[in-house]
Amino acid sequence: MAVSGLGFGLNEEQEQLRREVRAFAEREIAPHVSEWDEKSEFPHAVVKKLGEMGLMGVIFPEELGGSGMGYVEYVLAIEELSRVDGSVGIIVASHNSLCTNHLMLGGNDEQRKRWIPKLASGEWLGSWGLTEPGSGSDAGGMRTTAMKVDGGWLLNGSKTFITNGTYADCALVLAVTDKEKSTHGGISAFLVEKGTKGFRPGKKENKLGLRASDTAELIFENCLIPEENIVGKLGEGFKDAMRVLDGGRISIAALSLGMARGALDAAMKYAQQRRQFGKAISEFQAIQFKLADMATQLDAAWLLTMRAARTKDAGQKVTMEAAMAKLYASEAACRICDEGVQIHGGYGFIKDYPAEKFYRDVKLCTIGEGTSEIQRMVIARELLKGR
């Protein structure tokens, strides 16, 4: 399907990456999507293959085992995976943007050399723990604590809605180290390896969508973390987390693009095949207008996301651009997937067609890594600074 945003401003290497990831997704993921969704089955084998392709370390330097690519390439990869299955897209996005990227941004050279090659190669799967049962948008309300003791830090508390939580080999976790300072110097980041005494995954969530992606609790009970596992400066974990989320929001925009593109592709195909009143429903103006609006919104979202990715690759501050891309792409994707179901009519409500799965999966994009309401707050704050 030809959409003007496709290929706009991409070089040959980037176009080749898009083709390779699309071919992989069609070959290795598409045949299993329905089964994984029905069973909430985590795609272990595919994740390993993605590691072999270099997609578990897209944005990290080659000397640390990564692919040495930028955010433009990262967006293309997440988009193409999510066009077939958003569950796979979010597994890769969370692993790259959150856990591994926090290590890259906040960690010291020794920590990067110790952990990033394992994560970037796909040998290890990573998770990132910020959200708690009582603190979502209000991250400053977190109750997980780390207390200084002989031999390190004693971690107690829990995290919730953690992508890859059950299967992750390590978790980068935010905890309160100074209750008086809270987000202003009182929160620190810790790398907790699987198997650490007192650390375990908790309840695995039974979700509306993205069901092949694992979402679980992380539980810490007198979990002793060595001093060398503090990532970044003591007390600056929250500050680093906000930098991490700038990049993470670009990946959620890419996830939104992929699912919206998949929904539009499915709607186009169905509209050209479905016949009513003696002709394909794609010949009716009502359907044509829906498709036109869907494609226009998708292209606008693509351009906003590419602007954010290129700004990030240029080493510039990307807080507002990432928030705009995430806000618009996620909300546009919800509208596109909604119209996809409508075009399918009754068939859009049954699992024999992909429209209903895109509709269920895409809603997370307006919630994860900062709700739409939080994105509007971020954008307004940046505007009012007089940038």
Q: Which residues are catalytic?
A: 369
Q: Is 154 helix (H, G, I), strand (E, B) or coil?
A: strand
Q: 354-360: long-range contacts (C-beta < 8 A, 24 or more apart)? A: 354/33, 354/262, 354/263, 354/266, 355/263, 355/266, 355/267, 355/270, 357/33, 357/34, 357/37, 357/209, 358/86, 358/259, 358/260, 358/262, 358/263, 358/266, 359/263, 360/208, 360/209
The residues, ordered by sequence, that sit 6+ positions from 158 with a Cβ below 8 Å of its Cβ are 132, 133, 144, 202, 217, 218, 219, 220
- Extract the tokens encoding 118: 């394992």
Structure tokens at 165: 């939580």
Helix (H, G, I), strand (E, B) or coil at 71: helix
What is residue 111's three-state secondary structure?
A: helix
8 A C-beta contact, residue 134 and residue 159? no
